[in-house]
Structure 1
Amino acid sequence: MSVLTLAHLYPREMNIYGDTGNVLVLRKRLQWRGMDAKVVGVHVGDPLPPDTDILLGGGGQDAAQGEIGRDFVSRGAELRAMADDGVVMLTICGTYQLLGHHFLTKDGRRIEGVGVLDVITTGSDQRLIGNNNIDTDWGRLVGFENHSGLTDLGPGAQPLGRTVAGRGNNGKDQTEGAVRDNVFGTYLHGPVLAKSPRFADELLSRALARRGEDPELEPLDDSLALGAADVAVRRPR
């Protein structure tokens, strides 16, 4: 039985909008197929598991991000090496921003990132908030955005998708999230994978392929998840 290692970054501090649910979704979708996941919580000062297959991080309040920011940046070389080695990463909101080059606050303070994703974020007085769904190569992704950091993509990153109803990365260019190889960043909370089953399976398939295992996954009945996505899309922002 295949067992994937899921490294969950800062599960206490970076879970303000239920992003831990992404970990639960991936593990359950493996279990439904006769596989499983070993979930390792990574707190400040903890080592990253050397056998990490999927790295997940969520969003948090600004105070929480300050507490973990130095720890995250101290892992920069290791995170860049993991990305270069094809480790699958899904980062939401705050950890998405920290994967970029830097965050420039609205008062001009520069917070360094780790440079895994070719993005920069600038603080603003504008808050982008509400239900959002985006068109991607893996179907529709559905979640909830709530951020005042405006993110712009450089040439080394592609958008995860295009916004249909929400504001996305910056409220200007209709992009949402960023992709580089097996690294994904997005502002979609919710948790996003609960209502985006095809994307959840894409992450699992990539992790299995990287290990040299069969990436083809047995189909599941996703009618409940897709129905929940339909309801969320119809709700007013």
Structure 2
Amino acid sequence: MKIKIGHLYGNLMNTYGDNGNLLMLQYYAREKGVTVETEIISLEQPFDPNEYDLVFFGGGQDYEQYIVSLDIKEKAEQIKQYIEQDGVLLAICGGFQMLGHYYVDATGKRIEGIGVLDHYTLNQENNRFIGNITIKNEETGETYHGFENHNGRTFLGEGVKPLGIVQEGKGNNNEDQTEGAHYKNVFCSYFHGPLLVRNQHLAERIVELAIANRQKKNLIA
């Protein structure tokens, strides 16, 4: 069996080694006997929601995020379709922010997101959330460890669950104890480092969801 991974803006969005998450996804898929094909979808390239079994969207600096924010609007409907048909997606930091309604960057500029997830992000003046972080996923009981470094303060809407509840660290906004987001088969987080290197159980779950979706597609075909 083969799964195909789509790497959204992989040539622009790779802050703090976020692409390590992609390497971990590839590794665990191969450990399960699955062949992996990976393709970057970047500026002025179409996104086909039926083409991919797993999508990764990393973080970027404000300049790169602004460039991506202009282009991703053209892909918004297709990304929404992918998500709503249970496509598996992992988004980190800037990728997480852009899936929401909007984010305010460090200079105070509001950047429109694509609104495929119900959240928004505000900035902080002369401050960042930096340090080790531990969260607990209330659905699975799993604990995730990582490192956060972000200016943004993200607030989730009613239709989106957090990836976990903060045990140590700041999380999405240092107010409501949430970290990241989970909607259908979409997983979002501010963890850099990257997230999946320290949290094998989450990496395996994401890969297993992608494999299950591919198996369903093969049966239909």
Question: Same fold by TM-score, threshold 0.5 exceeded?
Answer: yes
Query: Cα offset for 1:138?
Result: 6.0
1-structure distance, mates of 2:171, 2:188: 12
Query: Cα offset for 1:160?
Result: 0.6
Match of 1:203 in 2: 206
- The reply to whether residue 72 of structure 1 matches residue 66 of structure 2 is no
Alignment of 1:84-99 (within 5 A): 84-99=84-99
Query: Cα offset for 1:17?
Result: 0.9
Tell me if the contact between 2:106 and 2:151 (Cα under 8 Å) persists in the aligned partners: no
Tell me if the contact between 1:138 and 1:202 (Cα under 8 Å) persists in the aligned partners: no
Tell me if the contact between 1:138 and 1:199 (Cα under 8 Å) persists in the aligned partners: no
**1:151-179 CA distance string (max 9 Å, x none):** 00110101110112110000111100011
Match of 2:36 in 1: 37
Q: How many residues align?
A: 212
Tell me if the contact between 1:119 and 1:153 (Cα under 8 Å) persists in the aligned partners: yes
2-structure distance, mates of 1:182, 1:138: 17
- The reply to whether residue 22 of structure 1 matches residue 21 of structure 2 is yes
Instruction: Indicate the RMSD between aligned Cα atoms, in angstroms.
Output: 1.6
Unaligned runs of 5+ in 2: 217-221
TM-score, with normalisation over the residues of structure 1? 0.85
Match of 2:63 in 1: 63
Match of 2:154 in 1: 151
2-structure distance, mates of 1:141, 1:207: 21
2-structure distance, mates of 1:211, 1:138: 27
**1:47-69 CA distance string (max 9 Å, x none):** 22542111101111111111211
Identity of aligned residues (%): 38
2-structure distance, mates of 1:91, 1:103: 15
1-structure distance, mates of 2:168, 2:59: 21
Match of 1:220 in 2: none
Most deviating of 139-148 and 179-188: 139-148
Match of 1:183 in 2: 186
2-structure distance, mates of 1:29, 1:191: 15
1:13–1:138: structure 2 CA closer, same or farther, 3 Å change rule? Answer: farther
- The reply to whether residue 134 of structure 1 matches residue 135 of structure 2 is yes
Tell me if the contact between 2:119 and 2:156 (Cα under 8 Å) persists in the aligned partners: yes
Letter in 2 for 1:53: D
* SS state at 1:40 partner: strand
Letter in 2 for 1:111: I
Tell me if the contact between 1:14 and 1:64 (Cα under 8 Å) persists in the aligned partners: yes
Alignment of 1:94-173 (within 5 A): 94-105=94-105, 109-125=109-125, 126-136=127-137, 137=140, 139-173=142-176
TM-score, with normalisation over the residues of structure 2? 0.90
2-structure distance, mates of 1:84, 1:3: 22
2-structure distance, mates of 1:161, 1:145: 14
* SS state at 1:47 partner: coil
2-structure distance, mates of 1:210, 1:34: 16
2-structure distance, mates of 1:95, 1:85: 20
